[in-house]
Chains A and B, each alone.
Chain A
Amino acid sequence: MSGKLMVFGLSYRTAPLAVRERLAVGEEQVPADLRGLVQDAGLHEGVLLSTCNRVELVATSDDPEKSAQAALAYFNARVAPEQVDGCVYRYVGQDAARHLFRVTSGLDSMVLGEPQILGQVKEAFAVAQRTGTVGTLLGRSFERGFSVAKRVRTETGVAAGNVSVSSIACDLAEKIFGELTGRRVLIVGAGKMSEVAARSLTSRGARLFVVNRSPERAQALAEACGGQARPLEALATELAEADVVISSTAKQDYIITYELMQGVCKMRRHKPIFLIDIAVPRDIDPRVDSLRNVFLYDMDDLQKVSRENMAARERAVVTAEQMIDAELAELERWLRSVELTPTIVALRERVRGLLHAELEKTLSKLGVPDKDRRQLEAMCEAMANKLLHQPLTALKQAQTDHAGVELVEAVQRLFQLQVDGNAQARTASEPAVAADPALAAASSPRSDGSGPSG
């Protein structure tokens, strides 16, 4: 028996966080759950992907319908059926492979093209490998998924340009100052947003200074991010020293006025300064942007950049989808080539062909009467059947364990069989190995005990 690729699960697209968080599987729990699922859901192979945005089971099964029911029961053990109902999705065959490729490439992510998902899928795959629930079909499918994800990342713009406000701010700072190592970053107002930006700037080597109305908060943020706190009265002198300023106070009027900045520019002898105003209402008088070597970006500016970058990513999706289509076609070709039936047909043809050719050669020299000729031909047929009986039984048997695809490929090599991906050879006498020729795999690490067909 072979299995079909299937994906069962839910994601941020279909399920609210309240459901996702209760279904999320901790890393240490995954192997046990995987083993249980493989057992209960009658899977050949399985990979369990659990991130904050999705919980998915990628598996191979002979009966995806039945396996999906079992997987649903697994979900229902933790979340009430009425909450999960309508949230789950199920893909089978090529749709499942496409979904896997899209997830891996970041096309299905909440932030289009975000890179973390690839690492998370790789990790989930590695865990399943260690657990022993990955065989040839899942192995090949994930491998193709990783390869297409890499191509999508490097060859399309799907992952290009930052889209989060804090990383855009960091990028811009780098485009003004080059390396940020040793640059002075001044945080004005110790809000949550400024902390995120501060962390990513310090991670690039910048030195951090914090000015806040409440010195305690300034101290706390400075300590959290490895910076130094300064009193609010020192704002002007700190501005004169800073390279990058991130302002996010809750003040109603400008804390950095045009006049203040004019004075500061003189003090700093017009050294370039990058001001980032992420406060609403704004902290910095927009007129300071007209001062020499002063660059001011506010929330609107940063969000505009974010929208543009996102739009560019979305434009690149078409190319990415084309890459995925090509990869799917490749996977499908491979799957067809390792299908059991065409291989058996080809092997039988090869052996019978050889025997009959030899028989013909001999008979033409001997001039045997027709009656004897028929007997000899029958003998030839019987020889072919006897010769092939054991290998064919072994091949069919192998479909229930790890060795299935490897054995098919070995036979193809030994007998130089040409089973191309487009072959659909199937005769009435040969039962179909898989109902779905596109994504029916010949291998499985686990058998559900139903044994070989035919």
Chain B
Amino acid sequence: MTLPTLLFVATALAYVAAGALFFAHLRSGGEKLSGFAARALGVAIALHVSFLAADYALSGRAPLATVHQTLDVLSLVIAVGFLASMRRHRLPVLGAFITPVTLLLFLAAALRGQSARVPEGVRSLLLPFHIIVNVLGLAAFALAFAVAVAYVIQEQLLRKRQVGGVFQRLPALDVLDALGFRLVTIGFPLFTLGVVTGSIWAARLGNGLSFSTGQGFGVLAWIFFACVLLSRAAGGWSGRRAAIGTMLGFLCAMAAIGGYVLRSVGG
């Protein structure tokens, strides 16, 4: 087993452990559990960084050069973003929803294909910009997604009159709603830039690429998030609807990425 492989496995296991601890904290409470979970996530992040460093040192592939590496960096940014905001907002229970997303992206990044590299024809100065804004935008959306999942669960528990354990540990509905909105507000301009640069790029490429499924999902995701923001500004789409819109938007964005990953794996 090579060093990067070892580090990869260790990182994945650390994410699993952190996720399990966060979940146990959500289920049964206890400050100790959330402390352990946060520490496990810290370890996972450290391992993740070493994995990226080792991978770069051994393969010479610069981070963000491929779709897979982008996913790798994206999952890292989400984990770091959560750990940082968790301290500020005291919302460790949300780790139960965020850590699985991180893990999934991290594992998806491992589906390395042969032609994962972006074709030479489309390389330009625009590319790193396109990737970075997308990563940051998607990281904000991923956090918003986790918050939205928590909102929907919390609202469901309130409606079903199950207001014990988990309901007590999840944050207040209004807090989740406001936090989700703020995250979408942060992610949206970044993601918009990502979509715009992507379109310029596709247009420049001309006949080569038709409107792919991946791009389709990307645009769909953008429409969902735009709706969430616009309708909230216009009034009406707060709470559950906004949460579901956020969830759908993020799933579409993931589908778009999934399209790229699978295409490059297949090709």
Whether a CB of chain A sits under 8 angstroms from the CB of B32 is: no
| A308 x B164 contact (CB < 8 A) | yes
Tell whether A175 pairs with B168 under 8 Å between CB atoms, given A289-B159, A295-B158, A305-B161: yes
Q: Are B163 and A270 in contact (CB under 8 A)?
A: no
Is A161 part of the binding interface, using a Cβ–Cβ cutoff of 8 Å? yes
Say if the beta carbon of A13 comes within 8 Å of chain B.
Answer: no
Q: Report Cα–Cα, A374/B177, bound state, in Å.
A: 95
Contact A305 B159 (CB under 8 A): no
CA distance A175 to B166 in the complex (A): 12
A300 closest partner in B (C-beta): B161
Taking a contact as CB atoms under 8 Å apart, the answer to whether B164 and A176 are in contact is no
Task: Mark B151-179 against chain A: 1 for CB-CB distance below 8 A, else 0.
Answer: 00010001101011001100111110100
Chain B residues near A176 (CB, 8 Å)? 158, 172-174
**Choice from A172, A269, A309, A312 contacting B235 with Cβ under 8 Å:** A269
Residue numbers in A under 8 Å from B240 (CB-CB) = 292-293
Residue of A nearest to B175 (CB): A178
- Most chain B beta-carbon neighbours within 10 Å: one of A178, A295, A301, A309: A178
- Give the number of residues in A that approach B within 8 Å (Cβ atoms): 22
Interface of B is mostly: helix
A293-B239 CB under 8 A given contacts A178-B172, A272-B173, A272-B174 = yes
CB distance from A21 to the nearest CB of B (A): 36
Q: Are B161 and A177 in contact (CB under 8 A)?
A: no
- Separation in Å of the A290 CB from the closest CB of chain B? 9
B266 adjacent to chain A (CB < 8 Å): no
Q: Report the bound CA distance from A202 to B179 in whole Å.
A: 26
In the complex, are the beta carbons of A304 and B161 less than 8 A apart?
Answer: yes
With beta carbons under 8 angstroms apart, the residue of A175, A270, A297, A309 that contacts B172 is A175
Instruction: Report the bound CA distance from A172 to B173 in whole Å.
Output: 10
Contact between B235 and A270 (Cβ–Cβ < 8 Å)? yes
A residues less than 8 Å from B159 (CB atoms): 289, 295
CB distance from B120 to the nearest CB of A (A): 51
Q: Residues of B contacting A271 with CB < 8 Å? A: 238
Assess whether A178 is in contact with B238, with CB atoms less than 8 Å apart.
no
Contact across chains for B163 and A175 when beta carbons are under 8 A apart = yes
Q: Which residues of chain A from 287 to 334 have any CB-CB distance to chain B below 8 Å in the complex?
A: 289, 292-293, 295, 297, 301, 304-305, 308-309, 312
Note all chain B residues with C-beta closer than 8 A to A360. none
Out of B163, B174, B241, name the residue touching A178 (CB < 8 Å).
B174
- Contacting residues, chain B, for A420 (C-beta < 8 A): none
B172 proximity list for chain A (CB < 8 A): 174-178
CB distance from A30 to the nearest CB of B (A): 39
Known: A175-B167, A305-B163. A270 touches B236 (CB 8 A): yes
Question: Does the CB pair A270–B239 fall under 8 Å?
Answer: yes
- Give Cα distance in the complex from A174 to B163, angstroms: 12
Selected from A172, A289, A292, the residue in CB contact (under 8 A) with B163 is: A172
Q: Which residues of B contact A272 (CB under 8 A)?
A: 173-174, 177, 238-239
The complex places the Cα of A295 from the Cα of B240 at a distance, in Å, of 12
| A292→B241 CA distance, assembly (Å) | 9
Contact mask for chain B residues 235-255; partner A; CB cutoff 8 A; 1 contact, 0 none: 110111100000000000000
> What residue in chain A is nearest B157 (Cβ atoms)?
A175
For A177, list chain B residues within 8 Å (CB).
Answer: 172-174
Q: For the complex formed, measure the closest distance between the CB of A341 and the CB atoms of chain B, giving whole angstroms.
A: 45
Closest B residue, CB atoms, query A297: B161
Q: Which residues of chain A have C-beta atoms less than 8 A from B158's C-beta? A: 172, 175-176, 295
- Considering the complex, which residues of chain A in the window 356-402 have a beta carbon less than 8 Å from any beta carbon of chain B? none
- Complex partner residue of B164 from A270, A293, A309, CB under 8 angstroms: A309
Q: How far is the CA of A192 from the CA of B48 in the complex (A)?
A: 60
Near A by CB (< 8 A), chain B positions 207-261 give 235-236, 238-241
Point out the residues of chain A lying under 8 angstroms from B164, CB to CB.
161, 308-309, 312
- Residues A292 and B239 in contact, CB atoms below 8 Å apart: yes
Q: Which residue of chain A has the shortest Cβ distance to B176 in the bound complex?
A: A178
Assembly CA distance A270 to B239 (angstroms): 9
- Rounded to whole angstroms, the CA-CA distance of A309 and B165 in the bound complex is 10
Please state if A270 and B161 are interface contacts (CB–CB under 8 Å).
Answer: no
Write out the residue numbers on chain B whose beta carbons fall within 8 Å of the beta carbon of A289: 159
- How close is B2's CB to chain A, nearest CB, in angstroms? 48
B89 to chain A, nearest CB (A): 11
Name the CB-closest residue of A to B234: A269
- With a CB–CB cut-off of 8 A, which chain B residues contact A175? 154, 158, 163, 167-168, 172-173
* Bound CA span A270–B87, Å: 32
Indicate with 1 or 0, residue by residue over A72-93, a CB within 8 angstroms of chain B CB atoms. 0000000000000000000000
Quick one: which of B39-91 are within 8 Å of A by CB? none
A293 to B240: give the CA distance in the assembly, Å.
Answer: 8
| A292 contacts across to B, CB distance below 8 A | 239-241
Q: Is the CB of A269 within 8 A of B236?
A: yes
The digit string for A252-276, where 1 denotes a CB below 8 A from any CB of B, is 0000000000000000011110000
* Distance between Cα atoms of A302 and B101 in the complex (Å): 36
Which residues on the B side are within 8 Å of A301 (C-beta)? Answer: 161
Could you give, for residues 171-185 of chain A, a 1 whenever the CB lies within 8 Å of some chain B CB and a 0 otherwise?
010111110000000
> Considering the chains assembled together, what is the distance between the CA atoms of A350 and B238 in angstroms?
81
Contact A270 B174 (CB under 8 A): no
Report how far A269 CA is from B161 CA in the complex, Å.
25
Closest CB-CB distance, B167 to chain A, in whole Å?
Answer: 7
Which residues of chain A come closer than 8 Å to B167, judged between CB atoms? 175
State in angstroms the CA–CA spacing of A400 and B105 once bound together.
76
**B40–chain A nearest beta-carbon distance, Å:** 24
Report the bound CA distance from A271 to B163 in whole Å: 21
Report the minimal beta-carbon distance from B172 to chain A, rounded to whole angstroms. 4
Roughly how many angstroms separate A348 CA and B174 CA in the complex, as a whole number?
73
New A-B contacts (18) at CB < 8 Å, excluding given A175-B167, A176-B174, A271-B238: A161-B164, A161-B168, A172-B158, A174-B172, A175-B154, A175-B163, A175-B168, A175-B172, A176-B172, A270-B238, A272-B238, A289-B159, A292-B241, A293-B240, A295-B158, A295-B159, A305-B163, A308-B164
| The 4 nearest A-B residue pairs measured at CB | A269-B235, A178-B172, A178-B175, A293-B239
Chosen A-B contacts, 26 in total, with CB atoms closer than 8 Å, are A161-B168, A172-B158, A174-B172, A175-B154, A175-B158, A175-B167, A175-B168, A175-B172, A175-B173, A176-B158, A176-B173, A176-B174, A177-B172, A178-B171, A178-B172, A178-B175, A271-B238, A272-B239, A292-B240, A293-B238, A295-B158, A295-B159, A301-B161, A304-B161, A308-B164, A309-B164
